[in-house]
Amino acid sequence: MNIFDASWFYWAVGIAIGLPVGLIILTELHQVLVRRNSHLARQVSLMRNYLLPLGALLLILVKASQVPPGDGFVRVLTTIFGFLVLVLLLSGLNATVFQSAPQESWRKRLPAIFLDVARFALIGAGLAVILSYIWGVRVGGVFTALGVTSVVIGLMLQNSVGQIVSGLFMLFEQPFRIDDWLDTPTARGRVVEVNWRAVHIETATGLRITPNSMLATTSFTNLSRPAGAHKCTIATKFATTDPPNQVCAMLTRVASGLPQLRRGALPPTTVALGDGAYETTVRLKSPADDGAVRATFLPWVWYASRRAGLHLDGANDEFSTPDRVWDALDSVVGPELRLSLVEKRALASYARVVRYGADEVVQHPGIVPKGMSFIVAGSLRLTATTADGSVVPLSTLYQGAFLGVTALTRQPNPTGAVALEEVTVLEIDREHLEHVVMNKPTLLQELSRLIDERHSKAHRAIRGERVA
């Protein structure tokens, strides 16, 4: 018989040529995907190392060696090949549809339970094909037996199954997604995982596991919907003798400086509820900022209320005593402004000692200050604000430094100032300082030089140049 007339000859030649070429192509493709950090590199490696060689071996046995497909060894190899194809389909589907999905897309936020359902369906279909075509199993009878068994198990576990089904219906409705914030009767936090049995909610005290059936039968609030509409309400209480308008203005002013505010949203608002109670509402970027907002707002209100002469929780503030004022004038202001004893005594009745909390804004840029502030304790950071609203640090001021020097020239502040810790300052209004400073030409020259220096630093920072 002529060898060229044999069917196995062409299969053998095709496998001998195709297998090396296929290995080379898959190797080059795998290297390209690895360099690009592609999620498909693992699937190409599976095809190169296992699927292609095993497929070539099956073709050699069945087509070239004429081994019957019903042979036991061939069936085992074909079953392994089918399982590898099933693994390739599962991992490829996950890599192409979900792992490579954008962070905010529906594919990335799809609950894990739906992925499990899709995997089980694909595995079931694959096993049915393998059992039917390779081993000749009558799959219809198997499914019938499974159906009868499922009915029996369902009757035995109807309560548990009912809970699972109610949870599945809730998940199909999708009242929340991964990373949404929920407020349930038992937990408040961010959804981090959804599986067959429960929803995992990350709270401030740990991970709360809430059964799906519980969420399906109770009401809860999705704080993340509609997007960008979250707001936080903070309650405070003042003495009933404090003027409500002054309290509302102070609370709103403090809330307007919170760093967690959502850009472009409505400004904070404060309402008086009566009997000294007030509520301040702020619009936030995310429900995750609730704790940080409260932790920042309440300490700031404590300091701001005392500076404004208001009585938070009915408390009186007696911090600015005559002794503290005199100590600050004698140890800080006197040496800086070269004050005589008579001048210090003249300023003592017009000065007061106040405090600022950590991260609180002590000086706003672009505003004409009403007076000067001298640092008695603590430290401040001078800042400049660029055209896009970002804040650039300039330098740090310590005890003995002062702010509001442009009050004497009636110019806006070139820089802002933020407290790095609790800061104690002595404040003196402009009209009382003018009588003392205007008679000191050398001091005026030094103050003018300081104003020019801070102007220069602020302008360089706004232009993006490095500030020494």
Residue 382 lies in a domain: yes
* The pLDDT value given to residue 59: 85
Instruction: Tell whether 457 is covered by a domain.
Output: yes
How many domains does the chain divide into? 4
pTM value > 0.85: no
Quick check: 386 and 415 in contact, CB under 8 A?
Answer: no
Domain assignment present for 55:
yes
pLDDT score, position 109? 55
Q: What's the token pair of residue 347?
A: 């300023």
CATH code of residue 294:
3.30.70
Q: Which among 246, 247, 266 has a CA at the least distance from the CA of 256?
A: 266
Residue 131 confidence (pLDDT) = 80
Could you tell me if 19 and 89 lie in one domain?
A: yes
Omega cis (within 30) before 267: no
Establish if 23 belongs to a structural domain: yes
* Interior angle at CA 400, CA 344 and CA 384, nearest 5: 125
Q: Is 315 helix (H, G, I), strand (E, B) or coil?
A: coil
What CATH code is carried by the domain that includes residue 183?
Answer: 2.30.30.60
**Are 118 and 191 part of one and the same domain?**
no
Query: Do 300 and 327 belong together in one domain?
Result: no
d(CA 278, CA 273): 5
* Model pLDDT, residue 380: 93
For residue 101, what pLDDT is reported?
Answer: 58
pLDDT at 164: 65
Distance (Å, rounded) from C-alpha 256 to C-alpha 402? 25
**Confidence (pLDDT) at 237:** 95
Last residue of a domain, one of 258, 280, 307: 307
Q: Residue 282 belongs to what domain range? A: 231-307
Q: Judge if 434 and 410 occupy the same domain.
A: yes
Residues of the chain with pLDDT under 50: none
**Alpha-carbon torsion (90, 92, 94, 97), positive or negative:** negative
The predicted pLDDT at position 146 comes to 59
At 453 the pLDDT is 86
Last residue of a domain, one of 245, 273, 307: 307
Indicate whether 342 and 255 sit together in one domain: no
Residues 452 and 327 in one domain: yes
Cα–Cα distances (Å) from 425 to 58, 181, 196, in that order, read 86, 41, 59
Residues 99 and 182 in one domain: no
Q: How many CB atoms lie within 10 A of CB 451?
A: 17
- Whole-angstrom Cα distance, residue 5 to residue 265? 81
Measured in degrees and rounded to the nearest 5, phi and psi for residue 59 equal -65, -40
